[in-house]
């Protein structure tokens, strides 16, 4: 059975709130080869969603407004695989609300997209967000032709292409930011989404390849910073953990363990106001860099001037 906890967000105030469910299906094995069992990963996320739907039907849980699956929760392209398409459609239909599905989409030209798809219970796949900031030497290979000639291992690196747009999709009338995995580390991407109207930040992620290292906790820390920076609740859905619900003040109000199957539920407050940090963006960073460069340039000039004195 799914482990379900309902946690009210602490800073609700008078703002509108919605109910969300985060699915952490877990992976069949640790390490870089976890995707060798792609179907098992998809089945895990479908299974946990159906378990939640059963608890809703029994009156043991409230129905969320939408469900968030992690990055790579369907590493099988559902547009090319009818079985994967049917499994996801069944999960959405039974739960009765949209699911944001992390999927790997393969194109005819041999390239791949890391996508989050809004899967409607009635109409199926709709809006998508394609990951904009890809991982070098993981999702794509810089100077690919040269690298392949230098090493046969280079061919194992993905051939993903980056998406564009502002990273915002709509669930009903709620615009949400989709910040896939390490996109949360980039100031400009999250700021662009919030400026475009996102009232909630989601971070679908796949940390399974990093095992039990500190990487997943670093990502959680970055997400907490984004919550405070933009005054937005942040939802992290991970394939294997750590999934979490982060309040607008950066407090982690709920989290899962590593390498466990889990379902997190919460009511989260939406925000539409822009913080000072959202409005000014990276201006302070550039000002700080400019001051340092000016100081170093001035010091270098003074050093040269002193060197010319008799």
Beta strands 262-269 and 4-8 are parallel
**Which pair of tokens denotes residue 236?**
């992290």
For residues 127 and 170, is the Cβ–Cβ distance under 8 A? yes
Active site residue 131: yes
Q: Which of 48, 133, 139, 181 is an active site residue?
A: 181
Residues 6+ apart with CB under 8 A from 169: 100, 116, 118, 127, 128, 129, 175, 176, 178
**Residue holding tokens 């985060």?**
22
Detail the DSSP E strand segments found in 107-212.
112-120, 124-130, 168-171, 174-178, 200-205
Beta strands 200-205 and 174-178 are parallel
Q: Which of 48, 51, 71, 133 is an active site residue?
A: 71
Q: Which of 48, 51, 131, 139 is an active site residue?
A: 131
Rounded to whole angstroms, the Cα distance separating 170 from 174 reads 5
Active site residues: 71, 131, 181
């Amino acid at each position: 059975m799914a482990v379900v906890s309902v946690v009210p967000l602490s800073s609700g105030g008078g703002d509108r709130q919605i109910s969300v469910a985060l699915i952490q299906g877990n992976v069949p094995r640790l390490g870089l080869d976890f995707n060798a069992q792609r179907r098992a990963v998809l089945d895990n996320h479908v299974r946990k969603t159906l378990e939640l739907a059963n608890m809703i039907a029994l009156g043991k849980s409230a129905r969320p407004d939408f469900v968030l699956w992690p990055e790579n929760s369907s590493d099988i392209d559902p547009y090319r695989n009818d079985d994967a398409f049917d499994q996801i459609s069944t999960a959405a239909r039974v739960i009765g609300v949209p699911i944001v599905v992390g999927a790997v989409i393969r194109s005819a030209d041999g390239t791949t997209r890391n996508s989050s798809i809004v899967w409607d219970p009635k109409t199926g796949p709709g809006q998508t967000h394609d990951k904009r900031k890809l991982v070098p030497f993981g999702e794509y290979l810089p100077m690919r032709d040269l690298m392949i000639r230098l090493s046969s291992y280079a061919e194992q690196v993905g051939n993903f292409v980056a998406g564009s747009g502002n990273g915002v999709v709509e669930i009903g009338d709620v615009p949400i930011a989709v910040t896939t995995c390490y996109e949360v580390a980039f100031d400009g991407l999250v700021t662009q989404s919030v400026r475009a109207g996102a009232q909630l930040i989601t971070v679908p992620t796949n940390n399974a390849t990093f095992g039990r290292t500190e990487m997943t906790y670093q990502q959680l820390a970055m997400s907490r910073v984004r919550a405070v920076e933009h005054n937005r609740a942040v939802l992290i859905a991970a394939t294997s953990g750590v999934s979490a619900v982060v309040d607008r003040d950066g407090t982690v109000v709920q989290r899962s363990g590593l390498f466990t199957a889990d379902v997190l539920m919460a009511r989260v407050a939406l925000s539409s106001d822009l913080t000072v940090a959202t409005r000014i963006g990276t201006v302070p960073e550039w000002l700080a860099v400019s001051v340092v460069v000016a100081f170093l340039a001035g010091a270098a000039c003074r050093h040269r001037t002193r060197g010319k004195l008799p």
